[in-house]
């Protein structure tokens, strides 16, 4: 079993981005600028956004964190997004999900300029991804593809099973794994809560990508020997064994699965850092497009 160290690869990517930023500055261009909107006081979202701000500083980006009350009206949030869309000083914008129940996430996502949508969630960018046109790829699926590429994991002609069908991870990664490219050229099956005999399908996987949101759902006895496992899930549970009082769990039961796998991502330290690295990469791409 070999660990797919997302933290290490993400740091490599950040180093590469920092070099590109220095080149831009040497040519007289401004620093790339990423703006993030955080609505409310969700603990997990707060941690994630702060990690993004810290990553911006590391690579030489400017960053703006806009904190808004959970009681903000939808129209006021839309106005704030419009202001950023029209601000030429800001290159990329992310609105941290989830949002309060009274705000329509779909409407908010669609209001972000496709040219600043570094999360890759806007329908225009998703449509270009489906057509294999240059675009901002959704950050987490892009991170998975980058991780597979940098570890030189063979995907051609492999059977890939995706557990979960969200528009953020499951659906886009299924498209990327099936496309004619490297990584890619897999035969892909998407499974979900309505899939019959899901255990039998998972058992056949050469590459298993799990984005379900159910802690330790995948057990070792469900796997084929030699499978590559990408664990996207992250669930916080109370724990008296950590300083914070919380412990993070993936969708994969790491201890029972590690001996069945040829490659496996840890939680934390696997896909999470890669997602942030891809956000930075998309922001740099936004700047290069304008240049």
Per-residue pLDDT reduced to its tens digit, 183-234: 999 999 999 999 999 999 999 999 999 999 999 999 999 999 999 999 999 8
What integer pLDDT is reported at residue 48 of this predicted model?
A: 87
Residues 143 and 109 in one domain: no
133 within some domain: no
Is 213 contained in some domain? yes
Q: What percent of the chain has pLDDT over 90?
A: 91
Name the residue among 214, 213, 208 with its Cα closest to residue 190: 208
Give the active site residue among 5, 91, 117, 119. Answer: 119
Beta bridge partners of 190: 162
Strands 187-191 and 207-210: unpaired
Question: Do the domain assignments include residue 281?
Answer: no
Q: Are residues 181 and 230 in the same domain?
A: yes
Tell whether 157 and 95 lie within a shared domain: no
- Is 288 annotated as catalytic? no
Q: What is the pLDDT of residue 79?
A: 98
State the chain's maximal CA–CA distance in angstroms.
59
CA distance 219 to 126: 32
Active site residue 62: no
Name the catalytic one among 5, 14, 52, 206: 52
Q: Of these residues, 96, 116, 117, 158, which one is catalytic?
A: 96
Percent pLDDT > 70 in the chain is 100
pTM higher than the cut 0.75: yes
**CATH number of the structural domain spanning residue 50:** 3.40.50.10860
| Residues near 219 by beta carbon (within 8 Å), at least 6 away in sequence | 253, 256, 257
Our answer to whether residue 96 is catalytic in this structure is yes
Beta strand residue intervals within 120-249, DSSP E: 159-163, 187-191, 207-210, 227-231, 235-238, 246-249
Determine, yes or no, domain membership for 159.
yes
Please tell me the predicted confidence (pLDDT) of residue 82: 98
Q: How far is CA 247 from CA 48, 161, 268, 275, in A?
A: 15, 27, 10, 20
Q: How many domains does the chain have?
A: 2
Domain that holds residue 226: 139-272
């Amino acid at each position: 079993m070999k660990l797919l160290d997302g933290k290490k690869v993400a740091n490599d990517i950040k180093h590469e981005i920092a070099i590109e930023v220095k080149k831009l500055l040497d040519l007289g261009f401004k620093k790339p600028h990423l703006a993030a909107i955080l609505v409310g006081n969700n603990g997990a979202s707060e941690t994630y956004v702060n990690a993004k701000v810290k990553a911006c500083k590391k690579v030489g980006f400017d960053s703006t964190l806009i904190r808004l009350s959970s009681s903000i009206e939808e129209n006021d949030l839309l106005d704030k997004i419009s202001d950023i869309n029209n601000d030429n000083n800001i290159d990329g914008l992310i609105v941290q999900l989830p949002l309060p129940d009274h705000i329509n996430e779909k409407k908010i996502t669609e209001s972000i300029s496709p040219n600043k949508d570094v999360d890759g969630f806007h329908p225009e960018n998703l449509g270009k991804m489906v057509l294999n046109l240059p675009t901002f790829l959704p950050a987490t699926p892009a991170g998975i593809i980058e991780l597979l590429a940098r570890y030189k994991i063979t995907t051609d002609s492999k059977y890939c099973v995706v557990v979960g069908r969200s528009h953020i991870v499951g659906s886009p990664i299924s498209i990327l794994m099936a496309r004619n490219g490297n990584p890619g050229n897999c035969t892909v099956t998407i499974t979900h809560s309505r899939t019959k005999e899901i255990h039998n399908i998972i058992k056949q996987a050469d590459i298993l990508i799990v984005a379900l949101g159910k802690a330790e759902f995948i057990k070792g006895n469900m796997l084929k020997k030699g499978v590559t496992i990408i664990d996207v899930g992250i669930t916080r549970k109370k724990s008296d064994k950590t300083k914070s009082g919380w412990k993070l769990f993936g969708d994969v039961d790491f201890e029972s699965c590690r001996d069945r796998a040829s490659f496996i991502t840890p939680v934390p330290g696997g896909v999470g850092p890669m997602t942030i690295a891809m956000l930075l990469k998309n922001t740099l791409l936004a700047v290069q497009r304008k240049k």
